[in-house]
Amino acid sequence: MKFHDIHEECGVFGVYGHSEASNLAYLGLYALQHRGQEGAGICSSDGRHLHLDKSMGLVADIFSEKRLKKLPGHIAIGHNRYSTAGSSVLKNVQPIMANFALGPLAIAHNGNLVNAAEIREELEKEGAIFQSTSDSEVIVHLIAHSKTGDFYERVIEALRQVSGAFSLLILRERELIAVRDPYGVRPLSLGQVDGAYVIASETCAFDLIGATYIRDVEPGELLIINENGLKSMKPLIAPRQASCIFEFIYFSRPDSYIFGEKNVNEMRKKFGAQLARESGVDADLVIAVPDSGVPAAIGFAEESKLPFDFGLIRNHYIGRTFIEPKQNIRHFGVKIKLNPVRQLLEGKRVIVIDDSIIRGTTSKKIVKMLREGGGAKEVHIRISSPPTIGPCFYGIDTPTRQELIASSHSVEEIRKFITADTLEYLSLEGLKNIVPESHNFCTACFDDNYPISFPGERLAQMELFLK
C-alpha cells in the first residue's frame, strides 16, 4: 500500500455488562489501531454518570492504567480516529459527549455523512452551536432537536435524515445502542465475552479479549443493549446493500472476518491467485509491498508456481513524523519505511505485488529502489485490485480524482511513469468473481458507480468540499 496515499477510516468498539468495560474498550481499540492513528477516546458509564477521556495520538500512548481507572462502569464505547471529514484536532476526537433534555449521551462514529454540510447549515440557522468540525456531531444535534417521542424514535428520525456511511455506537447512562447504515458500507460485528455484549468494527478486536463472534450487525439494524437484554430493530432501509469492497483489499486486518464471516486474508490470497491467472509473467521471484500486499503475493506465487520471499523489509517503528537529514538522500521518504534485500533480489526478474496505485509517486520510488538498491534485473508490478479512478466519500480518506493517476492515464502510461518493465491490474470482473455476492458491494472507486447520491451538488463539487 502507498504510504500516506490512502488512509484508514475509523474504528469503534463498545461493551455492555462487564466490570472492566473501559479496559476492554482499550484493548479493543488497540486491536483496531490500524483503522485510525490520529487520536483515540473512551467514554464509560457507571449507571449514573458518563466519564470521558480522549487525546491525540496512539491508543497505547494515551491510556495508562491510571487514566483507565478514571473511566469506571460496566458500559463503555471507544473510538480510533482518522479524519475524513473535519480537521485533525483534539475537539474532533471521539467519542463526542453531550447533555440534552433526555440525559447525557456519547457517540462513536465510523463513516462519513455526505449531506452533513447541508444539515449543519440548517441546524445553525435554528440556533445550534457546534463544538467541532466533525460530521459526526450532526447526528448528536439531530437527536437533540428531534421532537418525536422516546429516545429510540429520536435516534431513528435523526438517522433517516442523514445520508452516507455510519457504523455508530451510542452510549447512555444505562444502555448501549449500535446502528449500521442501511447500505452496510462499513463492517460492524456483535460478540460476547464473560456474559457481556461487545461491538466492534472488526472481529480481530474480539480475538484479543477472548470474545466469541455472534453475528454481524445487519445493514439498517439498530441494536439496543440494556438490563432487559438485547433488542433488534430494522428501521433503516436502502434500495441495495453496498459494503465497501476496499475493506477486503486493504483496510481491514487480515485476521478479521467481515461482511458475513469472510476472512480477509483468504480473500486477499484469492485476489492474488486470480491476478496470476490474468497476468502471469516469466520471472524468478514474487515479493510484496508490505504489509497489505503479502497475502495477495502469496496467492500469486502459489498460483504461478514461483517462489515467494520478503524482498522488501518494512520498518514498523516509524512515527507520524520524522526528521530528514540535511544531506540529500535519494528516496529518503520511502527508504525510511522500506528497504530492499539485495542478496535476494540481485540479478533477479522480480514480480512485485501491491494492493493499489494511487498517485504513482511511491510506486515509482519503489521500482527505482529495487533496481538501484536491490539490483533487480527486471521489475514487474502487479496490483491486486482494479485501477482506482474515483475517490471515496463514505469514510475513506482518498485523494481527489485529479490526484488519482488511473483516472487520467492508461495502464501503459502509468507503467512508463513508474518505470516498471510491465504493469498489470486485477480486472474488475476478476475481483467480482472472487467476492461472494459481489452485487452487494460498493465498487465506486473502480467504476464510478456511487450507490449513495449526493445532495444537489455535482460529484466534482463534492470532491472539492472534501479536498
Least confident of 16-30, 111-125, 435-449: 111-125
- Domain CATH code at residue 69: 3.60.20.10
pLDDT, residue 3, reads 40
pLDDT (tens digit per residue) in 324-363 = 565 566 556 677 789 999 999 999 999 999 999 999 999 9
Residues 255-306: tens digit of each pLDDT: 999 999 899 999 999 999 999 999 999 999 999 999 889 999 999 999 999 9
Confidence of residue 29 (pLDDT cuts 50, 70, 90): very high
- The secondary structure of 218-268, three-state, reads CCCCEEEEECCEEEEECCCCCCCCCEECHHHHHHCCCCCEECCCEEHHHHH
SS3 call for 206: helix
Q: Are residues 349 and 230 both part of a single domain?
A: no
* Mean pLDDT, range 421-433, rounded to an integer: 98
State pLDDT tens for residues 162-203.
Answer: 999 999 999 999 999 999 999 999 999 999 999 999 999 999
Query: In whole angstroms, what is the distance from residue 291 CA to residue 302 CA?
Result: 18
392 is catalytic: no
Q: At 374, which CATH number? A: 3.40.50.2020
- pLDDT tens-digit series, residues 231-254: 999 999 999 999 999 999 998 999
- Residue 150 is assigned to a structural domain of this protein: yes
pLDDT at 462 over 60: no
Within 10 A of 461 (CB to CB), how many other CB atoms are there?
Answer: 10
Element housing 313 (H / E) = strand 312-314
Marked catalytic residue, from 10, 43, 244, 442: 10
Helix, strand, coil in percent for the chain, rounding step 5 = 30, 25, 40
How many Cβ atoms from other residues are within 10 Å of residue 257's Cβ?
A: 21
Question: Residue 107 is part of which domain span?
Answer: 11-238
Task: Give the Cα separation of 252 and 34 in Å (integer).
Answer: 8
CA distance linking residue 154 with residue 139, whole number of Å: 10
- How many domains are there within the chain? 2
Domain boundary, last residue among 218, 238, 258:
238
Task: State whether 120 and 229 are in the same domain.
Answer: yes
Task: State the cell numbers at 336.
Answer: 525510511
Task: Answer whether 0.85 is exceeded by the pTM.
Answer: yes
The reply to whether 363 and 428 lie within a common domain is: yes
Indicate whether 280 and 183 sit together in one domain: no
Question: Does residue 244 belong to any structural domain of this protein?
Answer: no
303-316 tens-digit pLDDT: 999 999 999 999 87
Mean pLDDT of 18-45: 96
Note whether 280 and 404 are same-domain residues. yes
Half-sphere exposure of 430 (CA within 13 A, CB side): 20
Shared-domain flag, residues 191 and 275: no
**Do the bridges between strand 349-354 and strand 285-288 make them parallel or antiparallel, or are there none, so unpaired?**
parallel
- pLDDT score, position 461: 39
- Per-residue pLDDT band for 374 (boundaries 50, 70, 90) equals very high
The residue out of 238, 256, 284 marking a domain boundary is 238
Give the separation between CA 267 and CA 128, rounded to whole angstroms.
45
Per the domain annotation, does 6 fall within a domain? no
Q: Are residues 272 and 337 in the same domain?
A: yes
Note whether 334 and 268 are within 8 A (CB): no
Q: For residue 69, is it within any domain?
A: yes
Of 188, 218, 238, the one marking the end of a domain is: 238
